[in-house]
Structure 1
């Protein structure tokens, strides 16, 4: 079954366009303000990662033509949600632990405590946009974003959903900077994957692979989907001969958002006329994205 990327969204300081990922990150750009897209209602008690995730979800679902008047235009129980975030609510969890240590559980905020759930971004996304299909969060290091894409593909191919929203997002704050020892991207990307072969596609999802080393992952991708002219990884030496290498590190630490941002960048590559295949490599996971006919 061929799966189509029917919606793409990017929210990073300085760009909301997948094509912007192909160029250097702009210096000194303002942070993304989700209230500009969503309005302030319903955002007040949400943590930064959840607000960014809702922003990305709205943009991707709208781009895929699945959202109108704040709700899905297709049966909500056929739309799944998969989120990848390694650092998402670490600030909330650390704040709660500190409050308990200094005072007691009685001092915890009733409005803040729900944000400590590991699935908060995915659950809030489903509630806000009426997505009642399978709902889960992936949090397993650098490969997390592409693993989220893999889980979405499995849900579609097994018939559990007709569309799956995949969101990769990481916030930039004092806690996340301490955890990664540097600046975090403060945003991410989202995709809508669809099993509808007639849907207008930004890209087609090709082989998904896992090996022991990034170089082996690229080798397996080139064997199964030859002809790649764009390779997105964290090491230039992994790019096959003749392929442009795109690292994406200029945006800050992408962590769990990396693989989803790479897939969005592939859609940007195709939108600018790039063909025929792009490779995304994050940790031991890899994905091939294929240019569809008439890609926008």
Structure 2
């Protein structure tokens, strides 16, 4: 590949599959009042082979198709415009195929394994979403699935950047997807209606195309945001301080973790004036988003940079998982910068 160990990574495509959103720009909210009555984004998918795919996979496929199209990695017929081995897939989902797993376990308990379907059994593997994305679009690069708790989405974006920086691929399709269904509500103990009118759980997917800056330039594709430093630590404040120490600058938007009560106050190292940065709580807007949250945050950051109010050198801080402050096992922080801004590479060198 043409990348180097410190290759700069940028976002060149965004796709969403969220009820009530007709285009990614709506991620910054608010959702339409009648969003629950809007068409199911899965209805955008047509063709054979959908019957045995779980909802998380279908949502991911709908979002991925749009992201690949915006990044011009597929043509009007949906055919790849670059070599398949140059594109990898990293998905993040903590509950993606829980419905399939639960149904399979129930079937075995009631009727033994002889009653299971050979079409459904492969879908009990946690990597089913990433596998179907690769198969559907002919993406033959590295293929990873992260089921890493609340930090999973930001971890996925970071791993995409590492794959590019290591020269394994030139581009990565990153997808965060989570379904809202009975098995997931049972596992998370979320009621059908909490009385606030807010979504009980996030039900959707968001996809990003992350690629090397050199690749985007060579293809003549505009970058939407540059991916900066990342840290995963046991404490939210420590993770934030880590990335801020590697990339100082004004924070214009702070995408906070789910249940952010323990981290609302400015963390050490956030920088002067950061405490007044607008807080964007995507979980409050779309419902608890689990493994999709970090990818949602990065998509929202890229869209925010397109806003005329985003000043030169301004950063977006994305953070997922509250760590010790909120009882999560860890906290991840990631800084995103405007497309042309210098950011440290994976090895720490500014590019």
Determine if contact 1:50/1:121 at 8 Å carries over to the other structure.
yes
Question: What's the offset of the Cα at 1:27?
Answer: 4.0
If the length of structure 1 is used for normalisation, what is the TM-score? 0.94
In the TM superposition, 1:33-182 aligns within 5 A as 33-36=41-44, 38-68=45-75, 69-182=77-190
State how far apart, in whole Å, the 2-side matches of 1:27 and 1:177 are: 23
**2:252 is the alignment partner of 1:246:** no
In the TM superposition, 1:247-262 aligns within 5 A as 247-249=281-283, 250-262=285-297
Aligned counterpart in structure 2 of residue 290 of structure 1, from 337, 344, 347: 337
Q: Which residue of 1 aligns with 2:25?
A: 19
Determine if contact 1:214/1:285 at 8 Å carries over to the other structure.
yes
Q: Give unmatched runs, 5+ long, in structure 2.
A: 1-6, 191-199, 268-273, 322-330, 342-351
Q: Which residue of 2 aligns with 1:233?
A: 256
Query: Which secondary structure does the structure 1 equivalent of 2:14 belong to?
Result: strand
Q: CA RMSD in A?
A: 1.7
Q: Give unmatched runs, 5+ long, in structure 1.
A: none
State how far apart, in whole Å, the 1-side matches of 2:99 and 2:39 are: 18
- Give the number of aligned pairs: 293
State how far apart, in whole Å, the 1-side matches of 2:135 and 2:66 are: 16
State how far apart, in whole Å, the 2-side matches of 1:218 and 1:230 are: 14
More divergent stretch after superposition (21-30 vs 223-232): 21-30
State how far apart, in whole Å, the 2-side matches of 1:87 and 1:27 are: 27
State how far apart, in whole Å, the 2-side matches of 1:244 and 1:256 are: 23
After TM superposition, the runs of 4+ consecutive aligned structure 1 residues lying more than 4 A away are: none
Query: Which secondary structure does the structure 1 equivalent of 2:10 belong to?
Result: strand
Aligned counterpart in structure 2 of residue 196 of structure 1, from 208, 213, 220: 213
State how far apart, in whole Å, the 1-side matches of 2:19 and 2:302 are: 19
Question: What's the offset of the Cα at 1:42?
Answer: 2.5
Alignment deviations for residues 7-34 of structure 1 (CA, whole Å, 9 cap, x no partner)? 1112212114333222233344135332
Alignment deviations for residues 71-122 of structure 1 (CA, whole Å, 9 cap, x no partner)? 3110001100000000000010000000000111111122222211111000
Query: Which secondary structure does the structure 2 equivalent of 1:67 belong to?
Result: coil
Q: Which has the larger radius of gyration?
A: 2
Alignment deviations for residues 117-150 of structure 1 (CA, whole Å, 9 cap, x no partner)? 1110000000000000000100010000011111
Question: What's the offset of the Cα at 1:293?
Answer: 4.3
